[in-house]
A and B are shown apart, each in its own frame.
Chain A
Amino acid sequence: MGMELHAEQSDYAEMENVEISDTMLFYHVRGALKSAVEGDPDKYKQLVTVMGPDECLVPEKVALMVTCLKALSGSVSCLDIVHHQSLISSILKMSMWNYGTDVMDALMELVISLATFSGQYVDLCLEMLVSNFMPPDSFISLLNQSRGILRKGQVIHHVHKTLIFIAELVPLSPLRLERIITERMPHIFTKEPLILIYVENMLKLESGEIGDRVGRTMLLAIMDRLIDLDVDIAWDDILQEDFTKGIFDMELEDLEGPVDVGQQDGDELRISWMERYFSGNLNAQKLDSLMVLTFEHLNFCKESGRLRQVFDTLLQSFQQTVLTAYKSKFAQFVLFYACSLDPENCGRRFADTLFHKFKTSRYPEWRMSAVAYLASYLARAKFLPISFVAEYLESLLEWCSIYCSNQSGGINPKAHKEFYAAFQAMMYVLCFRMRSVLAVPHIRSRISKHIEDILRHPLSPLMVCLPSIVEEFLRLAKVTRLDVPDNFVSSNLLESELSMAFGGRERLDMFFPFDPCLLMRSDRFIRPNFVYWSMVRSSYDNDEDDDEGTSDEDEIEICTAGKGMNIANDGAARSYDQDLDEFDNEMSKMSITPKVAQWFGGELRTDMQMPSRIRPCPDSL
């Protein structure tokens, strides 16, 4: 191997004629470093020039760089952080994204030598590696090209290999690494490709060889960033000017006109609406992409048998940040998806945690949030066995019964807001699951007795809870022949003053966290395990028809103990595509999710009746 330290182009030709062994090269570089300390910086300056940034990377320059990097790897003992500051700074500023694999190899070798040689270089080297998680701005446009994808793979491979190597030689380096990664994590306003690639690196670390040491911090940091993005998207952003300004839509009548829209039109409309919505909201797009990354990672964890371990961290993060955030809209679907991957363990633990939080939390708002999460989860999770749902319904009812037995006063929404939240949660779950739950005789009798006792109590939950839910609950109770006192007067309102009072300023009375996910790409993961209101509602509607005419022999919602809930539509098996088509139509029903009139027919209905009430879905009638 030959080498000539002079960087000038004129010297390259000379270099070819000079044969220097590796050992001589090391001595040469060491000599340059030592002479800089002794006050003769000429050779040292040449070395710094070689390592400096250069727009034009001719092969000779690359060869010289590789040679110098290798020589420096063998001379780290001669480096002095004060005297050779400019050289160290030049090396650590190098971006691997700008070089080929030969330079990457040599650079990583040097970084390992530096980091393992002295404690003072550890943080600097780790920071350099973390900065290589993201490409320079000039490279972003290449990320979608094959060349960019190839380079991305090479850089990620080299960076992670180096981090693992350093961790093997410096066992405490992962502790420093997790601090550096969380501190340098891009904020929510960073460009989407950059934040995506950074999180991709974090997830790779989580599942990698040092994942047992840094993985937990990575997941917590990612969940925190998801929440940051989530809370940055206000409902006002979702509801653009066209969309009746901030009204939570539960109206179904609006669907009457365009129910016969074709499936392909439905898809197109849905996509066009999503595009329209997302085009104005970059943070929603970022959140969607990050959630997809997280879902894919959870899938990978399941395949590698690590889901339970990862779920522990997710659950902790949920309790610390998601549950305590004000009306999180999307981030909670990470938990929902993890539960769907392992309903037996994760699914149960999530519900256990929520119920425990509801019973024991110190803050009423957290308790109300927890029970709202529980209700929404039990109602929407298709993968939960009906026996499991019934178990929690009974627990909720028992809690409500005990609460009632300890109270003697009358209606007071503010004082008893946890009670009203719990009873509303119970009604909400029953709206979705009533037929399946009541199909089991002993459960039916127990639930029926509890409900009757609670409804006859002076606290009068039916007067306080959201009228729209109460009305739907009573209607379904009538259909399923559940004995409930029928003294409720339909107000035809979505909400009432009393419900607003118990919901408080935060409007936790109208918090249903697992309403259909509005993020288009994330929805692909959630949809197969999600119960849409139309899927449930159509069965009751048929039942109502049957009541009027023949018998209810066409049981549509079938309870299969231990295997979750089987829901068919109109006696026919629903295909995934059909579900997808109906996504637009159904995601607003029995939900607080804003509904978009344009999905159907493309015409904006400016005369929407709000607040509205739940009515039978037209396409299921």
Chain B
Amino acid sequence: MEALKECCANIVVYLHPSKAKKVEASVYRQLSSLLFKFNESLDGVVLTYEPKFSSNLAKILPGIHPYFGVRFEAKLLLFHPKPDMLLEGEVVKVGQQSIHIIVLGFSSAVIADEDIREDFKYKIKHGKEVFVSRSHKKHRIKVGTTLRFSVKNFDEEILHICGSLVPSNTGSIQWLETKAEESQAYSITEKRIGNKRAAELLEPANIVSYRKKLKSENHIKKSRRSKSRDS
């Protein structure tokens, strides 16, 4: 899935003097406050963090409360969806007007009917709402399907994604993968057929005849050479 990136950030956390005895715990606490919120400086939503303290020195700020700045490097995993990126999520609701998806368990996404390609048709089968592809009957989107969709826009405040199923490389991941496997298998078969044709040429009978042909050619050549030598 796109929209996930790892980065290293140089961070300074200013701690209250009362936290001087438990600096690490306080830093972790500060870092955890970044979770599941869009951070403009990092340009993404922090999903995990791993601080690395290279020094036990901190800069004390002068003032009534001498806060001290702890400098460290943190490895962060960020979620940063941008338009046209491909995301994956689980379908939690299907309706005639929209498909609702949850990405990575925390971000909600919705695909409005106008962003669902015309190939998909809304149906109610056995009391359950589904979108079925007109061209590939096995391509279905229902509750529980893992869906690949492209990002239209991202609400950084509530981490809400507006998605689209217009691109052809979007849809049910299961179906897309099956299709990819099939096409891969097809290309392998094609190759095999190609190889088979080549192998057919190498069949013993052909080889003999070919050898004979070669022999005869060689013979001719040889004879030519011999002729020239002779001459």
Contacts and interface: CB of A to CB of B under 8 A. Distances in A.
Interface stretch (B52-60, B69-77, B151-159): B151-159
B96 interface: yes
* Residue from B107, B110, B113 having most chain A Cβ neighbours under 10 A: B110
Contacts of A168: 92
Nearest to A22: B96
Interface in B150-186: 155, 157-160, 162
Nearest to B112: A77
B102 interface: yes
Given A76-B97, A77-B98, A171 B106 contact: yes
Contacts of B108: 116, 169-172
Contacts of B159: 119, 172
Interface string A157-181: 0000000000011111101100000
B200 to A, nearest CB: 59
B95 to A, nearest CB: 8
B110 A116 contact: yes
Contacts of A123: 158
Contacts of B97: 74-77, 113
B93 A172 contact: no
B155 A119 contact: yes
A118 B92 contact: no
Contacts of A176: 158
Contacts of B155: 118-120
A494 B113 CA distance: 79
A74 B93 CA distance: 14
A128 to B, nearest CB: 16
B21 to A, nearest CB: 12
B110 A118 contact: yes
Interface string A117-144: 1111011000000000000000000000
B14 interface: no
Contacts of B102: 169, 171
Contacts of A170: 108, 158, 160
A77 B112 CA distance: 7
Nearest to B100: A169
Contacts of B93: 116, 169
Interface in B103-138: 105-108, 110, 112-114
Contacts of A117: 98, 110, 112
B100 to A, nearest CB: 5
B157 A119 contact: yes
Most buried by B among A74, A113, A122, A169: A169
Interface string B178-203: 00000000000000000000000000
Contacts of B157: 119-120
A112 to B, nearest CB: 9
B101 to A, nearest CB: 9
Nearest to B157: A119
B158 A74 contact: no
Contacts of A75: 97
Interface in B15-61: 36
Secondary structure dominating the interface of A? helix
Question: Considering residues B92, B97, B100, B102, which has the most beta carbons from chain A within 10 angstroms of its beta carbon?
Answer: B97
Contacts of A173: 158
A116 B105 CA distance: 15
Contacts of A169: 92-93, 100, 102, 108
B106 A77 contact: no
A258 B102 CA distance: 71
Contacts of B96: 74
B90 to A, nearest CB: 11
B160 A118 contact: yes
Nearest to B105: A171
B129 to A, nearest CB: 13
A113 B108 CA distance: 13
Interface string A77-117: 10000000000000000000000000000000000010011
Contact of A118 (B107, B113, B114, B162): B162
Nearest to B104: A171
Nearest to B110: A117
Contacts of A74: 96-97
Nearest to B108: A170
A376 B140 CA distance: 67
B161 to A, nearest CB: 9
Interface string A56-83: 0000000000000000001111000000
Nearest to B162: A118
Nearest to A362: B18
Contacts of A76: 97
A23 to B, nearest CB: 9
A585 to B, nearest CB: 49
Nearest to A26: B97
A77 B114 contact: yes
Contacts of A172: 36, 106-108, 158-159
A117 B161 CA distance: 9
A510 B223 CA distance: 130
Contacts of B107: 171-172
B191 to A, nearest CB: 46
Nearest to B113: A77
B93 to A, nearest CB: 6
B131 to A, nearest CB: 16
A70 to B, nearest CB: 12
A345 B46 CA distance: 38
A534 B114 CA distance: 77
Nearest to B115: A77
A121 to B, nearest CB: 9
Most buried by B among A77, A122, A175: A77
A346 B106 CA distance: 34
A109 to B, nearest CB: 10
A115 to B, nearest CB: 10
Contacts of A120: 155, 157-158
B217 to A, nearest CB: 75
A120 B156 CA distance: 10
Contacts of B160: 118-119, 122, 170
Contacts of A116: 93, 98, 100, 108, 110
A218 to B, nearest CB: 20
B223 to A, nearest CB: 85
A120 B157 CA distance: 8
A169 B90 CA distance: 11
Contacts of B36: 172, 175
A76 B105 CA distance: 24
A122 B158 contact: yes
Nearest to A123: B158
Nearest to B18: A362
A122 B161 CA distance: 13
Nearest to A118: B160
A384 B108 CA distance: 49
A119 B105 CA distance: 16
8 contacts: A113-B98, A119-B157, A120-B157, A123-B158, A169-B93, A169-B102, A170-B158, A171-B106
Interface of A: 74-77, 113, 116-120, 122-123, 168-173, 175-176
Closest 6 CB pairs of A and B: A119-B155, A119-B160, A119-B158, A77-B112, A170-B108, A171-B106
Given A116-B108, A168-B92, A172-B107, 20 more contacts: A75-B97, A113-B97, A113-B98, A116-B110, A117-B98, A117-B110, A117-B112, A118-B155, A118-B160, A118-B162, A119-B157, A119-B160, A123-B158, A169-B92, A169-B108, A170-B108, A170-B158, A171-B107, A172-B159, A176-B158
